[in-house]
A and B are shown apart, each in its own frame.
Chain A
Amino acid sequence: QVQLVQSGAEVKKPGASVKVSCKASGYTFTSYDINWVRQATGQGLEWMGWMNPHSGNTGFAQKFQGRLTMTRDTSISTAYMELSSLRSEDTAVYYCARVDTGDKKWDYWGQGTLVTVSS
């Protein structure tokens, strides 16, 4: 069955970077885009960006330009989201989600990774 399993919770200091992984299984990793979405405690969903694992092409929300990197390792079917220059407002649960490259339909989500930014 399709699964997206994310790495564990992280605690980072302001100014540091965090790298969250999203390991895919149960399907051909390069056939679907991976999107990243975050949610601060008690707040709504915020789209961060997408990556096509086949080509490596990415697209980011304007507010994350320059701070966000998305990469992948196709040999282990894993996508990565790295956010740099962390500030307290980046404290949130980060989710990866699978989106069909062709018809852009969303389906499976990872379980979420809590990133806490605190001095």
Chain B
Amino acid sequence: QSVLTQPPSVSAAPGQKVTISCSGSSSNIGNNYVFWYQQLPGTAPKVLINDNDQRPSGIPDRFSGSKSGTSATLGITGLQTGDEADYYCGTWDSSLSAFVFGTGTKVTVL
């Protein structure tokens, strides 16, 4: 099982906001950058957030990332039907000397 824990699912109505948590430890989130990925059904993952809170070019500002201690959060505002996807956090784990992904969260737009 993953060392990064995410809620299995979150949901909200169109236009609303959702937040996805990613809980880790001092060996991973606590001392390394966090990344967030979006995976639309049947497609390859796409990077949403680099370095805790940096959006790559082309990613709308509806998506935001933050980190505090050993947890990180992805926020999505102005929820759209096209945001229905699986979302994963990821970071380097210094104890494992490996990159680790979170358990994944399915976002449903009601």
Contacts and interface: CB of A to CB of B under 8 A. Distances in A.
Given A107-B47, A110-B44, A45 B104 contact: yes
Contact of B46 (A105, A109, A112): A109
Interface string A83-116: 0000000000001010000011111011110000
B37 interface: yes
B24 interface: no
A45 B56 CA distance: 20
Contacts of A107: 47, 56
Contacts of A37: 45, 101
Contacts of A110: 44
Interface extent on B, as a size class?
20 to 34
Contacts of A61: 96, 98-99
Of A50, A103, A109, the most chain B CB neighbours within 10 A belong to A109
Given A95-B45, A112-B44, A106 B101 contact: no
A52 interface: no
Interface in B40-54: 44-47, 50-51, 54
B109 interface: no
B63 interface: no
A105 B50 contact: yes
Interface of A: 35, 37, 44-47, 50, 59, 61-62, 95, 97, 103-107, 109-112
Interface of B: 2, 33, 35, 37, 39, 44-47, 50-51, 54, 56, 88, 90, 92, 96-104
